[in-house]
Structure 1
Amino acid sequence: METANKQLTAKECDCSEDNRKTISQLVVQNKETIREREKLEMELNALRSTTEDQRRHIEIRDQALNNAQAKVVKLEEELKKKQVYVEKVERMQQALAQLQAACQKREQLEHRLRIRLERELESLRIQQ
């Protein structure tokens, strides 16, 4: 009985020692897990911060793009107005060129007519 008690006590000690070792290992693993968790939480916070920064940059770029597109639309409208103005100026220049040509022909005609009338007048004076 005594031997059995000693063996039982020895086994309990062995089990108790095994339990202590297991608990010690679990404590070490728990500490490592906590450190790893804290590290992962820090990384997660950094990623969230980076994501938020990227969202802000995207919003800024979207706004810049929208502004640029609005400016392009405005410039295109201005260009259309200027093209209409240029076409009108070109038509007016063509009309002016036609008027100048007609005026020049008329002046030539008047000049020839004047010379002819002056000659006729001179000829009539000579005849009188």
Structure 2
Amino acid sequence: MVTGNTGAQECSGNAAICPNNQDGVSQTYLQCDSWAGKYVTASCPADQVCYANPNVKDTIMCAPPGVGGVPSAGQCTEASTKCADSGKSGKYYSCEPWSGQYVDGACPSGLICYDRKNKPGVVDCL
């Protein structure tokens, strides 16, 4: 875990981590300066925050706040969607392929989410 003086923590290669190993909190992240062997602070683009990349150790991804996964929805590997409760609410989950996790989604106001029976991974809002 990185805290305090980031220059004091050693690193190697292209390693990058979120400050204090916290996802979705900071616009900055720590990138290894492999020449010096120490972490330096870098920034995500405007309106994005740091997330650990679960697919590649010691790398990060910058994404909008709130895209962290919904663990109870399970893992995913491709761009797919599924209703949280098909035919009963407008809530659905959409896969974030870079993280392998589902994130919350919602049908427009007043519409209900239905899983397509003939096309798994696709939902309709009706």
Query: TM range, normalised to the smaller chain?
Result: under 0.3
TM-score for both structures, normalised by structure 1: 0.15
| Higher helix proportion | 1
* Structure showing greater Rg: 1
TM-score for both structures, normalised by structure 2: 0.16
Q: Which protein has greater RCO, CA pairs closer than 8 Å, 6+ apart?
A: 2
